[in-house]
Structure 1
Amino acid sequence: MNDNPPTFLIVIGVILVLGIGIGVFFWRRRVGYIKSLTDRGWAFESSPTLAIANGLTVPPFGLGFDRSTDEHISGERHGVPFQVFEYKCQVGRFRVAAMRLQLPLPELFLTTTGARPGAQAAQQQSTGQWHVLSDDAEFARAVQAGAGEPVTAFAQANGGIDLSIDGDQLVVLGAPKEAAELERFLDAMVAIARALDPRALDGFRRPEPERWVGFYRRPHWQFRDRDDTLMSVVEVTQGGQNHRIVNVVSCEVGPLPFVAFKHHWQTTRTVTSTDSNGHTTTRTETDNHEESIFDMSLGVPTPYLEVTGNRALGKWFGRGDRVESELAAFNDRFDVRSDVPKFASDVIHPRQIEYLMQVQPIPFSMGGGRIRVAVPQHDLAVIDHTVAFMYGFLTRIPEFVWQDLGADAPDFDGDGRPGPTLYSSST
């Protein structure tokens, strides 16, 4: 009788031993890496939230909806606060180092690799072996005059530089992972940060950035990757299950607070089928649904008013009465309905009609202090267009209409006043 174990058991045993050995190796390596950071007095978080990017909106930040963070290191270097983390967005994945400056400054890029994807700043004259992008030529010259020497030293030590000024933070892409290399990288950043002397740059000071996850060149817009609390605030499709509200864009300052998001949910249905032998079976199938929502708050209750394309049955069906203008071309193009026809006639006056004919907007309705726009998709370009359209529409509503509603005409030029806080997350 052969007492030797079968060959396949030996193979399995070897594989298990190798697997355990490899697992132990990587675990010890990971523990050693984290210790090399914490021994320097730095904190490490393996799965940080997007909140670590609060206040950062200059590319690669502030772009699109697909954003995530990973591997967060934070601490101080020579008294200057910093953070290093992995950042993923629609234009790529980056290892970012951000260091606090002594004052908030205008947007600027200084890089040996060319313009960053998504950046809109203008190209400026360079005093070194780098590209400079800024909308303020005088500020670009001041930065290069003050920080040119440490920037050159950084680029020589690291084989180039990809730097930006983002509010009150200095951001450099390409931070190394290993602690000793990162330490040298941060030391070179400190030299640049200190060279941005407040005494020389105070004339370029900007307002403190908002401490939220925002959007590039949209200073009042906030981003949340998910916020299911909006189910109880904004009208959405009910029924079904597994409701999710994702990619939330909200604005809560100025006269026109709005929120836009994608709403996902599921429904189930029972399907019965009969095979060729007459056997009947039933099964449950799940259907996935989504809708794009754009909801704006007026803060002033209004009668119901809707403006849609000229629907085939629009003259006979719909909420309220159909209101026609004296312009036949407008009546052919649009259906206007309201439960207070005079309100509709006051709002859709000749100058408003001219605007609507020119813009050809997608359907929208207003009532009870809210405006709902039937956006075709959840997209930043669509949101930009919708906000611009609603601004044009609402600024053309005569002042006496607002007075009849018991309110002053809103300050549509915007003065930074907080609007009604309707769309903030409670989490």
Structure 2
Amino acid sequence: MAVELGDAGSLALFLAVAAMGAGVVIAGAIAYQRAQQARLARIRAWVASRGWSWTARDDALAELLGTRPFGMGDEREAREVITGSRGGRPFQAFRYVVVDHSRDSKGRRKTRREDFQVVWVTLPRSLPALRFAPDDALQRVLTGLGWGDVDTESHAFNQRWRVSARDDAYAHAILAPHVIEELLRPAWAGATLVIEGRFVAVVRPGYPDLRTLDGTLERLEALTGTIPPFVLADYGR
């Protein structure tokens, strides 16, 4: 036999279900917060074990470069910053967060966040901006802004990378055979490489994976070591 609830009973049932739903949401939020705290604690302990330093947030780092994906969005954040040195070579690694605000057709404000993992080292002199990336929408934007798409004599390299620069001669000067050979290594797959000022930065989408940090630093060291010295002399400042 079916049991019918009156208005009061229906309201009580609705409130009970709503309370249960709110409880699940709160419990989920608490669990997520605890998991994040545990993750950050593990990161801090690991960083300390390497003799490096850790900073929760330093947004000034997010404004140092302007070559995409740097400089995008309405707001930029640098979180979970690791500062240290490897083999005597200083580096920084951090989670780069791009925040965009927009409104839908009804005028409601929407916020979109995108995370990248950044690792960079520095050069002895500042160089003009140069970007190496897989073919993507950002590459087409740069082309529209006057950045040339530079080809090399290596078909394999041209298939993997799109090279953006405002000065083709400068790009070709950097693209010495040893640089091309280095950038064809599997370890660079899926990465974007930005040279701007004194920074050489590797950028990948998503949260940082510290298991890859040593390998990324090793490849950055190898890459910067293959840049021809005359490039720093002729184009550096």
TM range (shorter): 0.5 to 0.7
Equivalent in the alignment of 2:74: 239
Distance change >3 Å, CA 289–CA 344, structure 1 → 2? same
Q: CA deviation at 1:359?
A: 3.0
Equivalent in the alignment of 1:261: 95
Distance change >3 Å, CA 345–CA 236, structure 1 → 2? closer
The within-5 A match list for 1:303-382 is 303-311=128-136, 317=144, 319-359=146-186, 361=188, 362-377=191-206, 378-382=208-212
Q: Which residue, 250, 254, 258 being the options, matches 2:83?
A: 250
Q: CA deviation at 1:341?
A: 2.2
Bigger helix fraction: 2
Distance change >3 Å, CA 356–CA 231, structure 1 → 2? closer
Q: Which runs of no fewer than 5 residues in structure 1 stay unpaired?
A: 1-63, 68-88, 91-211, 273-281, 408-427
Distance change >3 Å, CA 318–CA 331, structure 1 → 2? farther
**C-alpha distance in 1 between matches for 2:47 and 2:205:** 21
Q: Is the 8 A contact 1:257 1:298 kept in 2?
A: no
The within-5 A match list for 1:363-402 is 363-377=192-206, 378-402=208-232
**C-alpha distance in 1 between matches for 2:144 and 2:98:** 29
CA RMSD of aligned residues (A): 3.6
Q: Is the 8 A contact 1:65 1:247 kept in 2?
A: no
Q: Is the 8 A contact 1:213 1:224 kept in 2?
A: no
Q: Is the 8 A contact 1:271 1:285 kept in 2?
A: no
Equivalent in the alignment of 2:57: 226
Equivalent in the alignment of 1:66: 40
Q: CA deviation at 1:302?
A: 0.7
Deviation string 1:218-243 (CA, Å, 9 cap, x unpaired) is 33x32122334445545554526xx7
User: Which segment is superposed worse, 262-271 or 345-354?
Assistant: 262-271
Q: CA deviation at 1:317?
A: 4.7
Q: Is the 8 A contact 1:269 1:286 kept in 2?
A: yes
**C-alpha distance in 1 between matches for 2:192 and 2:218:** 15
Q: Is the 8 A contact 1:213 1:222 kept in 2?
A: no
Q: CA deviation at 1:373?
A: 2.6
Distance change >3 Å, CA 392–CA 318, structure 1 → 2? farther
SS of 2:183's equivalent in the other structure is helix
Q: CA deviation at 1:366?
A: 0.9
Q: CA deviation at 1:293?
A: 4.5
Q: CA deviation at 1:396?
A: 0.9
Letter of the aligned partner of 2:171 in structure 1? A
**C-alpha distance in 2 between matches for 1:352 and 1:322:** 17
Q: Is the 8 A contact 1:264 1:291 kept in 2?
A: yes
**C-alpha distance in 2 between matches for 1:236 and 1:214:** 30
Letter of the aligned partner of 1:218 in structure 2? R
Larger Rg: 1
Deviation string 1:164-188 (CA, Å, 9 cap, x unpaired) is xxxxxxxxxxxxxxxxxxxxxxxxx
SS of 1:375's equivalent in the other structure is strand
**C-alpha distance in 2 between matches for 1:334 and 1:270:** 35
TM-score by length of 2: 0.62
Letter of the aligned partner of 1:267 in structure 2? H
Q: Is the 8 A contact 2:126 2:198 kept in 1?
A: yes
Distance change >3 Å, CA 216–CA 251, structure 1 → 2? closer
**C-alpha distance in 1 between matches for 2:105 and 2:204:** 33
**C-alpha distance in 2 between matches for 1:327 and 1:302:** 24
Distance change >3 Å, CA 360–CA 343, structure 1 → 2? farther
Equivalent in the alignment of 1:56: none
Letter of the aligned partner of 1:287 in structure 2? T
The within-5 A match list for 1:5-44 is none
Equivalent in the alignment of 1:215: 47
Q: CA deviation at 1:403?
A: 2.8
Letter of the aligned partner of 2:182 in structure 1? Y
Q: CA deviation at 1:354?
A: 1.9
Distance change >3 Å, CA 349–CA 375, structure 1 → 2? same
Distance change >3 Å, CA 244–CA 232, structure 1 → 2? closer
Q: Which runs of no fewer than 5 residues in structure 2 stay unpaired?
A: 1-37
